[in-house]
Amino acid sequence: MERSRYLILTVFLLISFFVKGQVPSIQEQQHYYYVHTNYDVDYKTGSYDLINGLETSTNPDKLFHDVEGYPFLVFGWGKGEITFDNSRVPCEKLNLCFYNQNIIVNNNGQIVNLIPLDSIKTITINGKIVVYRDLSKDGSNLKKIPIEQLNNDGKAVLYKNYTCRFKSAEKAVSGYGGAKEAQFVVNNELLCSINGGKLISVPQKKEDFIKLFPDEVEKIKDFIQKNKINPKKEKDIIAIFNYYNSL
């Protein structure tokens, strides 16, 4: 039912696009692609407003002065665009929130939440590429969430999935250490898709990592050796993926 509703809305948008002969604005698309959402983080003694923190924080490592961690892809509002099947929509203020794994947009002061429609191809935020991918084991699209794409499209595509949880502050316990601030605990996992296959975790062991590229094993080994590549470092993994796509 939901997918049918989204399909109908997409048709309306495309009709609007062709009739007007121009790229629809955020204001024109908001009824099709955005919904209101709550960005409060509740805990025992109160709550934090993520949007308030995003707009007022002066520290890229701390969303609030009394909370460690920063649960967004970029510092403050980012600038970019949303690419659909047949159009591109510029966005002056958007970001990826790790805490609830949503793309948020500031639409003239109204905070809205991007719906993961199939017609959305990419979202760029300060030059970073974000795509919607299905992380459900059965391919049911029940876990279609925004994840960062670390290299360009090709035979091998590398992604980073972020997760975040809120950890409440801890009081000092006599004899067992001092107090601890509340914290947004951000974790990430590297995922990849080889030759259009399903998403899998990037192996940690070198011998398993090389097996990702069975058709070019020797060339990948030579590339790693000649360039002193460390398959455990993100920038080196990106280099390997880009090299493989160039073969």
Question: How would you write the pLDDT of the chain (247 residues) with one tens digit per residue?
Answer: 444 444 444 444 443 433 333 444 444 454 445 566 677 887 766 688 999 999 999 999 999 998 999 999 999 999 999 998 888 889 999 999 999 899 999 888 888 888 888 888 999 999 999 999 988 766 565 678 999 999 999 999 999 999 999 998 887 666 566 778 889 999 999 999 999 888 999 998 888 999 999 999 999 999 999 998 888 899 999 999 999 999 9
- For residue 247 the two structure tokens come to 């073969």
Handedness of CA 197, 200, 203, 207 (dihedral sign): negative
- For residue 218 the two structure tokens come to 């020797």
CB atoms within 10 A of CB 170: 13
- For residue 24 the two structure tokens come to 């629809």
> What are the beta bridge partners of residue 165?
185
Q: What is the structure's pLDDT at 140?
A: 60
The CA distance from 95 to 130, in Å, is 10
The CA distance from 56 to 200, in Å, is 37
Nearest alpha-carbon partner for 73 in 153, 136, 167, 150: 150
- For residue 203 the two structure tokens come to 């192996």
Q: What is the structure's pLDDT at 245?
A: 96
Nearest alpha-carbon partner for 32 in 145, 132, 120: 120
Is residue 99 within 8 Å of residue 41, measured between CB atoms?
yes
The CA distance from 103 to 122, in Å, is 11
Q: What is the structure's pLDDT at 2?
A: 44
Handedness of CA 222, 228, 233, 238 (dihedral sign): negative
The CA distance from 222 to 175, in Å, is 55
